[in-house]
Structure 1
């Protein structure tokens, strides 16, 4: 597991993620400003992910930084690739998925395209992207890892907590994980109480 998020904190988020619609609650408590734009969708239905971000910023269609990011990523992290929305060349596919699984990554988020959808789905690796294309990128030794980015319109720094479910992808700034969790738990409890009260009056 990535060293900058405690196991207890991750477990609490994981429990809420499994219950469903966690990204909506996180977006609410963070002022409706934490979500990546609506083009960011799961590559396969039901994909969910949670983990600290390892950020990647490719140069053009160069995949080198993606592979460098996978190699640098601690177990339990999520690779966040700011490919500037390039849709004509894929930054993720079967080979990167297998490499990420070997490293123990929890998923990938790509402001750009993915390919090998059948293989990625079969492997069960959560991937969210803004496009799908069969065209592959190239490797030329350029790009950057662990740098600030803004994939799909949302600022992401290394170590920020990334969550994704059927609704999309949200980002919790590093250092705000515990405060956000408590606010989400309180909001969900209040919502459940309101639902039960309405049901009692029907």
Structure 2
């Protein structure tokens, strides 16, 4: 990542639970629905979104996105909630790794879970199914999408870990980073000085 804000965010990812702090910085919002779950335990990702809008069970746009996505980006695939066909699997994982992509978020199905886990490629999806998607020539790349009803534009920041997936609008990335750093510092200071239930209660949303 060349953007300083993205590098700073990436440095926070290994600590775990970054999505929670990012959601807090977004006025306790920004998360995709709870249906988005990691395909394998411990998966986490962070990077700018390359968006994909599929058509029916046609996954050709996914391969088009992989071929053109910059290294470090995250594919956000809006399959309109299709869960009986997979839009990701071992072949897409290997192609994405060869391009240096950071992960994939799918409003739809994933397959080849053992291979994806073995390859340690972060994938978050709303379903797992052995049914493969079909080839074709439909769909679009780098267009506005709304996986799970949450608007995502190309270049928005995607943060995901075992808590879920959070989207940071591109224009808000620097401000959210500053808020996250302040929140994490305040939380560490609070936890260091008290274990009182009363003191640890969250305050009202800003």
Normalised by the shorter chain, which TM-score bucket?
over 0.9
- CA distance in 2 between counterparts of 1:140 and 1:11 reads 37
Q: Which runs of 4+ in 1 moved over 4 A?
A: none
SS in 2 for 1:38: coil
Match of residue 188 from structure 1? 184
Q: Does 1:19 align with 2:15?
A: yes
* Number of equivalenced pairs: 197
Distance 1:74 1:16 in 2: 21
Q: 2:116 aligns with which of 120, 123, 127?
A: 120
Q: CA deviation at 1:11?
A: 2.5
Q: How far does the alpha carbon of each residue in 1:122-161 deviate from its partner, in whole angstroms, 9 at most, with x for none?
A: 1110000000000001011000000001112211000001
Higher strand share: 1
Q: Which residue of 1 aligns with 2:164?
A: 168
Distance 1:138 1:32 in 2: 38
Distance 2:195 2:169 in 1: 36
- Within 5 Å, give how 1:46-65 maps onto structure 2: 46-65=42-61
Please give the alpha-carbon distance, in whole angstroms, between the structure 1 residues aligned to 2:69 and 2:11. Answer: 24
Residue of 71, 89, 110 corresponding to 2:106: 110
Following superposition, the deviation at residue 182 of structure 1 comes to 0.5
1:131 maps onto 2:127 in alignment: yes
SS at match of 2:84: strand
**TM-score normalized by structure 1?**
0.94
Residue aligning to 2:203:
none
Matches of residues 55-94 of structure 1 in structure 2 within 5 Å?
A: 55-94=51-90
Partners of 1:104 and 1:196 lie apart in 2 by 38
